[in-house]
Structure formats: structure tokens, C-alpha cells
Amino acid sequence: MQPDAYCFHRSFEPADPSQFEVDRHYLLYAMEGTIRLEADGQRWTLPPARAALIRAGHPITITVLSKLTSASVLFSTEFMPAPDHVLTVFDMSPLARELVRECRDWGPENGPLSPYSKRIFEALFDVVQKLSLVPSKCVLPSPRSEHLLKAVQLTERLAHTPLTFDEVARQSNQSPRALARRFSSEMGMTWREVLRHTRVMNAVEALVMTNAPITEIALSVGYESLSGFNAAFRRQMQMSPTEYRASCIC
């Protein structure tokens, strides 16, 4: 019999999308590597800076984008109340990351929880419940057509370069006019908005997971100037990169 809460700690190679659903509340978290999560017509990229809290019985689609070390945590519906929302993606705090690391010693085969492990899992659930009250703004609508999916994947892969819309259209074998219509009708965004969003998402990961100077991060994600990066970041996240990094310390 599986314990009331346990950690699923395992490594995975990159893999194509697969649907996933469990009968427990689920903290989806990657200690190393990156996951793409799709649900309810939206898609998120989950590096170690972010996690998802998912209510039991809610189907999601997961793509393993790079070699992955998972340390996700599952809570029985009797052990913990249902999360406030069916699915929430949020930024992980240092405390949450440390609690997940502590939970790695208790897997599904470990039997009933000890008083100490029970308190650790309870503390983790309380922390991620609180973090989930501030959902991540790093979310995009899911493309519905293969044509647009190809263009979005190309944009994500080359976002750090001086990429142009015409180049994306050419490499995805579409006319610029047809591709612009697809972005508008399927995602409700322009290509340039998707590019900005992708660059900011990449910057968020670097701000949380590294101590790199902000100017260095700006250049690494594709901006030619610090001022341009700061303006784009503030427009997306409603705060400056410096303010965002400071907010992730506590």
C-alpha cells in the first residue's frame, strides 16, 4: 500500500508528448531539465524555476524537452485538501525547492510516513498552496494546427538569435500572410508578442537559477540592449528584472 504522500524521484530522457492523469494531487517539478506542460488549451515551459500543482483526476500532456531529473510529489486526496485551483503553474521559492529535496527520501515503496516525514510533506503542501496563489505569467495559448506549432517551436528554439518573422515563415513553409493569420486566430497574439513572451520566459529561468548579471541575461535571451530587455520584461511581468529576482529570494 502506497503512503499518503511520496516523492517520484527519477531521471528521464527527452520524450514526445504523452498524456498523464493520476488519482492524487500532484506537484510536477523538475530539479534538472525542462518539461512542457499542456492543459486546458494553454502551454507552459517548466524549468527548475517553476512547478505546477495539479488537482487529482485532471489530465495533462507532458513533453520532456531535455534530459530530466524529476522530484515530483504526490498527495493522496485524504491526506491533503484539494488545491484551490484545478491547475496552477507558479515560481518555486528556495524554501519550496529545499522541501522537495528533503522529500526525495520517501518514495511509493517506503510504507507509512513517519511523524517527521508527515510534517515535511504537510509543510511542502502549505508552501506550494501559498505560491500557487500567484500564478506564473509565463504561459502561452497552445497552437491548434501543425503549421502554427512548427512556427512556434522554431521561434522558441531560435529566440536568442536575431530572428525575423519572414525567416520563421520561410523555414516553416508558409507565407507570411497565412502565418500571421494563424497566430491571430489560434493564439490571439502576433508573432512578435510570442517572441517577446518566449524571451522573457527564458530570462525568468536565468534570473531565478543563476547569479548572472542582468545585462548578460538580456543579451543571452536575444535582446540587443538592456533598455529594450527591461521594457519587455516589465510589460510581461509588471516588474523589473531586478525586482523579480529579489522577489524570488524569500
**Cell numbers of 187, please?**
493564439
Contact yes or no for 140/37 (Cβ under 8 A): no
Q: Is the dihedral of CA 186, 148, 224, 91 positive or negative?
A: positive
**Cell numbers of 37, please?**
506542460
Q: What would the pLDDT profile of 102-114 be if each residue is shown by its tens digit?
A: 999 999 998 899 9
Q: Check residue 138 and give its pLDDT.
A: 81
Start-end of CATH 1.10.10.60 domains in the chain = 143-247
Start-end of CATH 2.60.120.810 domains in the chain = 5-131
Residue reference for cell 547569479:
211
Q: What would the pLDDT profile of 3-23 be if each residue is shown by its tens digit?
A: 999 999 999 998 999 998 999
Q: Check residue 249 and give its pLDDT.
A: 58
Residue 198 CB neighbour total at 10 angstroms: 23
143-247 carries CATH number 1.10.10.60: yes
Q: What would the pLDDT profile of 47-71 be if each residue is shown by its tens digit?
A: 888 899 999 999 999 999 888 899 9
Q: Check residue 250 and give its pLDDT.
A: 46
Q: Residue 34's pLDDT band (boundaries 50, 70, 90)? A: confident
Contact yes or no for 247/90 (Cβ under 8 A): no
pTM of the entire structure?
0.77
Tell me which of 116-120, 171-175, 225-229, 234-238 is least confident. 234-238
DSSP, res 24? S
Q: What would the pLDDT profile of 163-192 be if each residue is shown by its tens digit?
A: 999 999 999 999 999 999 999 999 999 999
Could you tell me which CATH class the domain 5-131 is placed in? mainly beta
Q: How far apart are CA 88 and CA 53, in angstroms?
A: 5
